[in-house]
Structure 1
Amino acid sequence: MTRTVGRQDRSELILDPAEALRRGRALDAMLAGLHAARPRGITRATHRTMNQADDARQLEIARRLNGPR
């Protein structure tokens, strides 16, 4: 099932491998600065605490990606 939203052609398939690689590298370069720093070394904590830390890190990345509201 295909759903078209808006008038712009949004074909996600790039048939030229060189063009796909170029676009992929450009996207990787754009998104590289969004990652929040992970703590180094060994961390011991409960599963719940580790999940909370992961959630906070993902929230920080989302805020960097979407900008302040």
Structure 2
Amino acid sequence: MTTVVKGIKLRLYPNQPQINLLWQMFGNDRFVWNHMLAMANQRYKNNPASRFVGEYDMNYLLKPLKKEYPF
């Protein structure tokens, strides 16, 4: 049995408000990534024997982070 993988290539042309919104969202994503990475590094630095906090565990940390940073 063979699997066929297909894809679609497209180009978007956002207007200026959409571009601004995309840059804001990318900045927010970068902030959350760096914040979670810093938390994981600090946890490892404090206790190298502790288990790694995975993706699903980090999802629980997002709710308090959203309250702290409302953007």
What TM-score, normalized to structure 2?
A: 0.38
In proportion to residue count, which structure has more helix?
Answer: 2
What TM-score, normalized to structure 1?
A: 0.39
Using CA pairs under 8 Å that are at least 6 residues apart, name the structure with larger relative contact order, 1 or 2. Answer: 1
